[in-house]
Structure 1
């Protein structure tokens, strides 16, 4: 579903150029959930933004469903296949747009018809009833806002979702609900996920395989069974696992 080869992403120009991602390579099978983990600033979210067309200073190969993309140009066919869910549900929804307006706009942009019929179905898919349709973001909790953001991403029936730490801005009590929702949606719709997280327990729950990033490079690709067993090949990965286990014990 997704293939990344020799991906470099940078910001600025010499001598001030910053190389955020260097020579990244991995592949995500159709229907798989793949995680990107690492410390803040390691380049995880930058990869998602390059795929989505939000960064144009990159080189290498980005291939989605067998089609190579170039620069930051993405056509409607791309966005019918790929959608992104952002980290902060408080910033990703327009404060003056109702849920109905948010979803209507997304459906129209995807060329969908029968909008009045589709909106209740989208809300039902993400666990929100029809009573939420005409509410505004300030009338919603953080978890409800993120459910609306997920519904917006699902509007065009995409195949690949880019998930940029979709629960890190939420209360701990709500995080599990959103993760379980994403798990159910993946099963129901046959979705493929590329998920960024700094939380190894989230990746262990959500993903089949993961890539570990450090200083813009992928240092190890492993499956979740190896993560759970602590069977890492690289010292940095072992350090991350140990730090995560120590935090959980505390």
Structure 2
């Protein structure tokens, strides 16, 4: 479903150029959930933004469902296949647009028909009652806003979702609800996930395989069983896993 080879992403021009991603490469098969982990600033979210067309300064090869992408221009067919859920549900929804307006706009942009009938179905899919249809973002909790953002992403019936730390801005109890929702949606709709998170427990729960990033490079690709065993091959991976286990007095 997704193939990335020799991906370089940078920002700015010399001498101030910052190389955010360096020679990255991995594959994600259809129906798989693949994670990107690493410390802040390692380039995880930048990869998602390059795929989505939100960054134009990149070289390498990005293929989605066999279609090679160029630059930052994406057509309607691409956005029907690929959608992104952002980290902050407070920033990703327009404060003056109702839930109905948000979903209606998404459905129109995707060229979908029967918009009035599809909106209640989208709300049902993400566990929101139809009473939420005409509410505004300030009337919703963080978890409810993220459910609306997920419903918006599902409007065009995509096959690949790019998940940029979709629960990190939420309370712990709400995080579990959103992760379980994403798990159910993947099974029901046959979705493929590329998920960024700094929380290894989230990746261990959600993903089948993962890539570990450091300073813009992928240092190791492993399956989630190895992550749970703490069996990283690289020193950085082992240190990352050890750090995620919490404070140790010794």
Please, what TM-score do these two structures have when normalized by structure 1?
0.99
Structure 2: tracts of 5 or more residues without a match: none
1:246 CA displacement: 2.2
Instruction: Please give the residue correspondences for 1:175-194 in structure 2 after superposition, counting only pairs within 5 Å.
Output: 175-194=175-194
Q: CA deviation at 1:217?
A: 0.1
For the residue of structure 2 that corresponds to 1:241, the secondary structure is helix
In structure 1, what is the Cα distance between the partners aligned to 2:9 and 2:94? 29
- Residue 223 of structure 1 pairs with residue 220 of structure 2: no
Structure 1 residue 245, shift from structure 2 partner: 1.1
Give the Cα–Cα distance (whole angstroms) in 2 for the partners of residues 69 and 122 of structure 1.
29
Aligned to 2:208: 208
Name 1:15's counterpart in structure 2. 15
Q: Distance in 1 between the 2:72 and 2:117 partners?
A: 33
2:174 paired with 1:174: yes
Following TM superposition, the consecutive aligned residue runs of length 4 or more in structure 1 with deviations greater than 3 angstroms are none
For residue 247 of structure 1, report the CA deviation from its aligned partner. Answer: 4.8
Residues 187 and 133 (structure 1), Cα distance of their counterparts in 2 relative to 1, 3 Å cut:
same
Offset at 1:193?
A: 0.1
Give 3-state SS (helix, strand or coil) of 1:225's partner: helix
The CA deviation string for residues 77-123 of structure 1, in whole angstroms up to 9 with x for no partner, is 00000000000000000000000000000000000000010000000
Which secondary structure state, in structure 1, belongs to the residue aligned with residue 163 of structure 2? strand
**Does 1:147 pair with 2:147?**
yes
**Match for residue 118 of structure 2?**
118
Inter-partner Cα distance in structure 1 for 2:172 and 2:38:
20
Aligned to 1:96: 96
Which residue is 1:73 aligned to? 73
> What stretches of structure 1 of length at least 5 have no aligned partner?
none
Distance 1:247 1:125, change over 3 A: farther
TM-score by length of 2: 0.99
What does residue 33 of structure 1 align with? 33
Deviations 1:11-67 (A, max 9, x none): 001111100000000000000000000000000000000000000000000000000
> What residue is the counterpart of 2:58 in the other structure?
58
Q: Does 1:132 align with 2:112?
A: no
Number of equivalent positions: 249
Aligned mates of 1:2, 1:247 — CA distance in 2: 37
| CA distance in 1 between partners of 2:141 and 2:17 (Å) | 40
